[in-house]
Structure 1
Amino acid sequence: MFDNLAQYSVEFLTIASVHLLAVASPGPDFAVVLKHSVSFGRRAAMLTSVGVGLAILVHVAYSLLGIGILIQSTPGLFQILSYAAAAYLFYIGWGALKSKPSQDPDQQAADLSKQTISDKKAFWTGFLTNGLNPKATLFFLSVFAVVVSAQTPNSIKLLYGIYLAGATTLWFCTLSYCLSSVSVREFLSSKGYWFDRVMGVVLILLAIKLVLPT
């Protein structure tokens, strides 16, 4: 199998290029990783990023199994997925929107260090944010239906999927590392409740966008 990888190089480079443009575009994944980077620190943001990356394998799996075509061709099912994703983003956004200012500004740095989230919750927040995103569903359907040839073996398609998951994880882990630095966190958290509220509005707007007709 690996001896024949060269013949799929053009296909792979096309997928990698399209994926780079998609993953770099601001969306729910970026918003959640940014929020966790600033609010909870590097470890939480990294775990959130890993969750986002592993969720890519879910999209790859149903694309390879043909379930993605069923989702796309069944308006009711796709609509349910859209509403589930929107409800989840709205839930996260609403929680951030209710953030309140610290009574003592001098306690801001101390409050920042005390904010925590469990490893499990950080991971699943990232996983569900990407896994439920119908825009990601459409992206992978497009990639595997248009870019990838029907003659490409599933083993090669699986390698594509592993690359996409790994590249997504690396991208968001890099963002997490940069955004969770002490200087960045302190700057964005100087008015921490305003940052949370802004991120809450962004997440709610993304939720609304998911259910609006295109």
Structure 2
Amino acid sequence: MYWTEFLTVALIHLLAVASPGPDFAVVVRESVAHGRRAGSWTALGVGCGIFIHVAYSLLGIGLIVSQSITLFNALKWAAAAYLFYIGIKALRARPVAGGEEQVYVEQERSARGAFVSGFVTNGLNPKATLFFLSLFTVVINPHTPLAVQAGYGVYLACATAAWFALVAMLFSQQRVRAGFARMGHWFDRLMGGVLVALGVKLAFTELR
């Protein structure tokens, strides 16, 4: 009975998740710098971050945030600050001592650290707030049973995690990592610049 609505939700989500943004940048950096395990945990963190947006959308809190400039600004500045933080850390990457070519190895990166990186990046994203608010108020019929809507949320979280797990798998391949390693510390600086730029863009996002 709800298959048409579900397919619409799935298609819109696919188009949104495939668009590069902070989540993509963080998963790529973790995968290249720390390997597939870290990238996969980051992808799982991003997927679990979806549950935050789904929860407040179902509870109606997202509507309050969208209508409150103060709350929206607090959220976007927190997200921008976090992207600045991890971006600046990457920008400060230094060349390998002795001028040797940088080679990425399985550096120590806890599963918790990688998971939190993905979770916070997604959970604090105010654009995701507006996306899920629109999804649950415009696309999904308000008369759709709450259990069905929750089911949509579980799918969105799992689909997001699966997508970024594929991204992690691609960018953690040895040949791909070796290619980035030849860029040495410039890759870290490039990704840092991307994250800082995303933070700036996010900071100037306006409530509409």
TM-score after normalising by structure 1:
0.94
1:76 aligns with 2:76: no
- Per-residue Cα deviation, 1:138-193 (whole angstroms, up to 9, x for no partner): 10000001000011011000000000000000000011011101100010111231
Asked whether the 8 Å contact 2:62–2:133 carries over to 1, the reply is yes
Structure 1 CA distance for aligned equivalents of residues 184 and 29 of structure 2: 11
Structure 2 counterpart of 1:153, one-letter code: P
Structure 1 counterpart of 2:202, one-letter code: L
Structure 2 residue aligned with 1:58 = 52
Structure 2 counterpart of 1:27, one-letter code: G
Change (3 A) 1:213 1:29: closer
1:120 aligned residue (97, 112, 118): 112
Structure 2 residue aligned with 1:3 = none
1:95 aligns with 2:89: yes
- Per-residue Cα deviation, 1:73-126 (whole angstroms, up to 9, x for no partner): 1110010000000000000000000001112354622xx215322111100000
1:41 aligned residue (35, 40, 43): 35
Structure 1 CA distance for aligned equivalents of residues 106 and 157 of structure 2: 32
Structure 2 counterpart of 1:127, one-letter code: F
Structure 2 counterpart of 1:182, one-letter code: Q
Structure 1 residue aligned with 2:135 = 143
Structure 1 residue aligned with 2:179 = 187
Change (3 A) 1:114 1:177: closer
1:108 aligns with 2:96: no
Structure 1 counterpart of 2:128, one-letter code: A
1:212 aligns with 2:194: no
Asked whether the 8 Å contact 2:80–2:202 carries over to 1, the reply is yes
Asked whether the 8 Å contact 2:81–2:199 carries over to 1, the reply is yes
- Per-residue Cα deviation, 1:14-56 (whole angstroms, up to 9, x for no partner): 1000000000000000000000010000000000000000110
Structure 1 CA distance for aligned equivalents of residues 203 and 118 of structure 2: 20
1:201 positional shift: 0.5
Structure 2 CA distance for aligned equivalents of residues 123 and 192 of structure 1: 25
Structure 2 CA distance for aligned equivalents of residues 27 and 192 of structure 1: 23
Structure 1 CA distance for aligned equivalents of residues 4 and 41 of structure 2: 32
User: Could you list the runs of 5+ residues in structure 2 that have no partner in the other structure?
Assistant: none
Structure 1 residue aligned with 2:6 = 12
User: Could you list the runs of 5+ residues in structure 1 that have no partner in the other structure?
Assistant: 1-6
Give the CA RMSD over aligned residues. 1.1
TM-score after normalising by structure 2:
0.96
Specify which structure has the higher proportion of helix.
1
Structure 1 CA distance for aligned equivalents of residues 48 and 97 of structure 2: 39
